[in-house]
Each structure stands twice: as structure tokens, then as C-alpha cells.
Chain A
Amino acid sequence: MLDVEDLSVSYGAVQALHGVTFQAREGTVTAVLGANGAGKTTLLRTVSGLVKRQSGNVSYGGVELTGLSVENIVRLGISHVPEGRGVIEELTIDENLRLGTLWQFGRQERRSVLDEIYELFPQLAQRKRRMASTLSGGERQMLAIGRALSSKPKLLLLDEPSLGLAPLVTAQIMALIQELARETRLTVVLVEQNVRSALSIAEEAVVINLGRVVIADTAASVAADTELRHLYLGF
């Protein structure tokens, strides 16, 4: 379980997060919602260790994450797909996927893990040796998620997976995320601007505005609260 407690983060003089508190339970999808600049990306980056916090705690499965390096946080089973996907264009699809497996698996296991990912994303399998720069937006998202999954994480942090994707592709990806969470007990924290899609697959929802948590409740309650939706979510 991911436990974020009273987390405050600032970039120099700018306070990005004030006392953010919420939990993400094992095997659930938690949607993190809010307007542009609310601090959602900062939240994920702090959990994965890219950004240092000023105060507060982040712990996963009882292990304190604050103060650990990014590489060590990854080794705890936490995978972060950053904003913009972070597909490495100069590498091939296969190399991108392999990269995620290097720290954990030996040659044999690696092959079988990669085969699993290719089964999940047949479009990627067809073009293994192509450069990642040749992929479309949706395919890149699949590559990014596949790469994040290739290390068999227990916690998956997704930053706006639907960005720039056609509605149909978005729906496919969301469905995939939901299925993964259910089948493999994967904990997912999903930052999204596409609130409807996110709420449709999430069990829990956290709404952030100007760095503060407005509400942390079940997705259903948040979806039903129309005033909240108007104020903070834009519809």
C-alpha cells in the first residue's frame, strides 16, 4: 500500500504541494485529478524519487521512500511512466522494453518476461526491431506501459496516459489498466486530465487543487459530487 502523509514539496520559492495525504490500497486504481498546474505530476515525481520533498512522508509497503534514490525506489517494485511517456526514440522497441528488465532478471527470465509483454501488445511484437521514433502516440503509450510492466512492478504510477490519444485508444488503454490491476493485484496511481475515463476505472479518487487535497474518497462519490466536478474538474 502506498501511504502519502502530509507531503509538502516546493521548487525554490514556489510551493507545489501542501500537506498532501492519501493512500492507495493494493490492487486498486486510484485516480489523481485536478486542473493544470495543480501539482499532480509533482506528486508522482516525488513518490518515484525524482523530486525531493520538504516535509512529510511517503512510504510503500511500510518502507520509507523519502530519501531513497530513484534507482533504489524502482527496485522496491515501483514503476513510473512519466509525463510525455519517456519513450527513448533513439532505441528500438525491443531495447526500450529490455531496458526495464536489466536490473532484475537474468537472460532466461528476461526472454519470458518480454514474451509476456509482447503477448499483451501484439502491435509492438510485429515491430520489435524498429526505432521507437516510428511509433504513433497510442503505440508509444503501449510501449511505455509495457516497459514499466517489464520489471514486474507492484506499484504503477501513470502520468496522463491518455494525453494526445484518440478516444478509442484511450478506452483501450484504460481497459487494459483496469484488467491489470484486477488480474495481477497491481496497485495503480493514475494521474489524469481525462476525468471521465479515469473515474470509470478507478476505485478511489483524489482531487488536488493548487497543491492541496480537496477530497480523497471513492471514485463513485467523487463522480456523483456535481459541485465538486464543476469547481475543480471542469465539467
Chain B
Amino acid sequence: MSAIPSVPPVPPVSDPGPIPIPPTGLSRFPWLRLPRQPMLRHLLLGAVAAFGFYILTSAISSFNDFRVGEIAVYAIALAGLSLLTGTNGQISLGQGAFMAVGAYTLGVLMTHTHLPLVVDVLAAIGLSGALGLVVGMPATRLKGPYLAGMTLILALGLPRIADKYSTFFGGDQGLTVNSPTPPGTIDPQRWLSWIEIVGAIVVLILLANLTRSRFGRSFRAVRDDEIAAGLSGIHVARTKVLAFTVAASCAGLAGAFLGLSVGVVNTGEFSLTLSIYLLAGMVLGGAGSLVGAWWGAIVLVFMPGWSTSIANSFNLGSAVGANLALVVYGLVLIVVIMAAPMGIQGGIGWLGRRALSLVGGGVPAPGAPTPRQEGNEPVGSIPSIPPPAAPARNIREQS
């Protein structure tokens, strides 16, 4: 047996000292930088947004305020869904059903009690959140397609309770809902849209804080690899239930607002198609992205108008006009997933990064809001099937 050959000596490495970081991206413009702490940053952004909306709604007519308010409402629902599906990886087709719960809670309380509006709205949030908790608990055991199926049945089945007990729930006509009376001489429509916008901004600030906190990290960890997350000490079931409850609460608030906007609550508003439209809006805007919720909301609000005018201008007939939205959303879901899974916000983020790299000559500084920090994730960044080249192996069979 010959001697074991010696290992060649490793040359000593001297300490190079602190590595200087060249100014890149937005850090070149320090006055542009936002505060580091998430809460301050989000509050600042929220205040800026609120101011912007105030200017906008005052400038346009009150009918258009209605639309802006609608956008805010859908943004709330989409933001919740984005958290659940994009950030936490649980695909839910039940968001519409939770909106129905919120709307009907508001409607029932308004019809049968004389509680102040604030209490009604809080009850809507609370009840839908509670239902989200109840549904979310068994849902933790379900994998993607099974969860989708379960929430699909929920979306179809829950509104039917209103059909069954139609005397209490107002039957086909539904329950009437009174809009809140504005103080002074403010136009009621404008007042309602302000309430909705403020609600949306508050919700988004809360969700932004949540996403940046350790809960947000848990959400993403569970999404990316449940087993690994569990082994790292994250309580997987609790994380998933939390995400579900938050999403359901958002939907409940959105549903209540929607009831206030429309003036009536009935089951026709909350069909399965609503849930799928919400999914499409989320995918289009960018799953996991809070800013993306606004893009999706804009599309959702303006799509019915666009489809009818397209149908009219091409003389396609009323059948097409009514169904064009379905076709478009279906195509959106298919095409976006296949071609650009990160949606609009992902596209903007990509453009933004390219622009910054051209301006700053490098990677954006940590202080600048990058799409990653906004929580922009590709839809379905869920444990992927490993590529065939590296199959999951039993430890025994290492080569």
C-alpha cells in the first residue's frame, strides 16, 4: 500500500477589508429613497396614495367616483386573494363566496337591526374571517388541485343557502342596503367612494406590513416547500389558516362595500364566475403583488364596458357582448400563465429593473422598492415537480 498523497497546501488569504458598495440604482438619488422601516414606508405611501385619490375624485364627476370606488373594492378582494394564492400558494376559488358572506352579513344586519354602519361592516369582516378560519382549517391538509376543487364547491354551494332560506335572505330580489349618509354637502357617491378608497389603502398597508413581517416570510416558505418549512420550525398549518382567514376577511370587507355600492345584495352577484374573474384579475395584475391588485381591479371594473363596446363596434351581436368577458378572462388566465406568469406588475418590475440598470449601472440598492420586496411572485411558485435531470432520490441510492 503506497503512502496517501499529501494535499497541496492552500495559500493563506489575507483579509481584504470592508467591500465598498458602489452607488447604484436609486441610491444615486438619496432624496428619492423611502424610509427603511416598513411601517413608515407603507404609511408614507398610503398617505401619498390617499392624497392622490382625493385629488382624482374631486376632479372627476361623481359617476366616475363610483368607478374609482369600485376599483378600490376589487383591489381589496384581489389583495387578499393575492396573499393567499400568490404569496402562500393556496389556490382558492372561494373568494367570491366570502365576498357574499360579507355582503349578506351587512345586508341582514341592515335589514333586521339598527346598528351603526361601522358595526355592520366590522361584523361583515368578522363573520367572513371566522368562516375563513373554519374553512381554512381542513384546507391545510389539501394539496393544490384538491383545494381548488373544494373551494369550487364552496363557491357554488354557499350562495345556495341564501336561496334555501329565502325569507331571511331576501330571496331573488335580495336585501336592500342603504348607502351611508355623508356629512355636510358632500355628494353621497363621492363620500362612499372615499370610504372605499380609505378602506382599500388601510387594508393594503396592513397587508404590506404583514407580507414584510415574519408571517410573510412564513407564507412564502410554506408556499415554496411545505416540508422544508415545517422542518425549519414554521407551524405550517397555522400559517396556512392565517393566510386563509386574512384573505376571507378582505373578501368580506370587499363584499360589504360592494353591497353598499350597488344598493342591494343578492346571490346573482356572487356566482362562481365572480371567483374565477377574481382569480383572473389576480393573475393578470401579478400574483403575490399588492400593486398588482390595483391593476387587476382596474381591468375587472372596466372589462364589462370594454366588451360591450367591442361587441358593438364589430357588430357581433348581443350574445357575444354578454360572453366576451368570459372569453377574455379565460384567455387571460391561459395566456398569462403560459407566457408571462408574473402578470402586469411583473412586467413593470422587469421594465423598472432594466431602466434602473441603465440609469444606475447596476443592481438597485436595497433601499429601493424592487418588485421582489413588493412581494411579486410568479403564480404557482409552489413546490414544482423537479426536472427529470435531478429526480428526488432515496438517500440509499446516491450515485
Interface residues of A (CB under 8 A from B): 11, 36-38, 40-42, 45, 50-51, 83-84, 159-160, 163-164, 191, 193, 226-227, 230-231
Say whether A50 contacts B388, CB under 8 Å: yes
* Other A-B pairs, 5, CB within 8 Å; known A38-B399, A163-B397, A230-B4: A36-B399, A37-B399, A40-B399, A83-B397, A227-B5
One of A41, A84, A226 near B1 (C-beta < 8 A): A226
CB distance from A93 to the nearest CB of B (A): 22
Cβ-Cβ contact count across A and B, 8 Å cutoff: 36
Return chain B residues, CB-CB under 8 Å to A37.
398-399
Return chain A residues, CB-CB under 8 Å to B394.
84
One of B393, B397, B399 near A191 (C-beta < 8 A): B399
Give the docked Cα–Cα distance between A51 and B394 (Å).
20
Give the docked Cα–Cα distance between A45 and B390 (Å).
11
Return chain A residues, CB-CB under 8 Å to B390.
11
Give the docked Cα–Cα distance between A11 and B393 (Å).
16
Return chain A residues, CB-CB under 8 Å to B387.
11
CB distance from A210 to the nearest CB of B (A): 13
Please tell me if B396 contacts chain A, counting CB pairs below 8 Å. Answer: yes
Return chain A residues, CB-CB under 8 Å to B398.
36-37
Return chain B residues, CB-CB under 8 Å to A38.
399
Please tell me if B185 contacts chain A, counting CB pairs below 8 Å. Answer: no
Chain B window 376-399, contacts with chain A (Cβ cutoff 8 Å), 1 for yes, 0 for no: 000000000001111001101111
Say whether A160 contacts B399, CB under 8 Å: yes
Give the docked Cα–Cα distance between A200 and B193 (Å).
84
Please tell me if B232 contacts chain A, counting CB pairs below 8 Å. Answer: no
CB distance from A182 to the nearest CB of B (A): 27
Say whether A11 contacts B397, CB under 8 Å: no
CB distance from B397 to the nearest CB of A (A): 5
Say whether B389 contacts A45, CB under 8 Å: yes
21 contacts between A and B (CB under 8 A): A11-B387, A11-B389, A11-B390, A36-B398, A37-B398, A37-B399, A38-B399, A51-B389, A83-B393, A83-B397, A83-B399, A84-B394, A84-B397, A159-B399, A160-B399, A163-B397, A164-B396, A191-B399, A226-B2, A227-B2, A230-B4
Return chain B residues, CB-CB under 8 Å to A11.
387, 389-390
Say whether A230 contacts B2, CB under 8 Å: yes
Give the docked Cα–Cα distance between A223 and B2 (Å).
15
User: Closest B-chain residue to A70, C-beta based?
Assistant: B388
CB distance from B43 to the nearest CB of A (A): 40
Give the docked Cα–Cα distance between A191 and B398 (Å).
13
Say whether A41 contacts B2, CB under 8 Å: no
Say whether B5 contacts A231, CB under 8 Å: yes
Q: List 7 A-B pairs, minimum CB-CB distance, nearest first.
A: A41-B399, A51-B389, A84-B397, A11-B389, A36-B398, A11-B390, A226-B2
Return chain B residues, CB-CB under 8 Å to A230.
2, 4-5
Chain B window 170-202, contacts with chain A (Cβ cutoff 8 Å), 1 for yes, 0 for no: 000000000000000000000000000000000
Give the docked Cα–Cα distance between A177 and B395 (Å).
27
User: Closest B-chain residue to A16, C-beta based?
Assistant: B389
Residue among A40, A41, A42, A50 having the largest count of chain B Cβ atoms under 10 Å: A41
Give the docked Cα–Cα distance between A37 and B393 (Å).
13
Say whether A50 contacts B389, CB under 8 Å: yes
User: Closest B-chain residue to A44, C-beta based?
Assistant: B399
User: Closest A-chain residue to B397, C-beta based?
Assistant: A84
Give the docked Cα–Cα distance between A38 and B399 (Å).
8
CB distance from A120 to the nearest CB of B (A): 26
User: Closest B-chain residue to A235, C-beta based?
Assistant: B1
CB distance from A202 to the nearest CB of B (A): 18
User: Closest B-chain residue to A51, C-beta based?
Assistant: B389
Residue among A37, A83, A159, A164 having the largest count of chain B Cβ atoms under 10 Å: A83
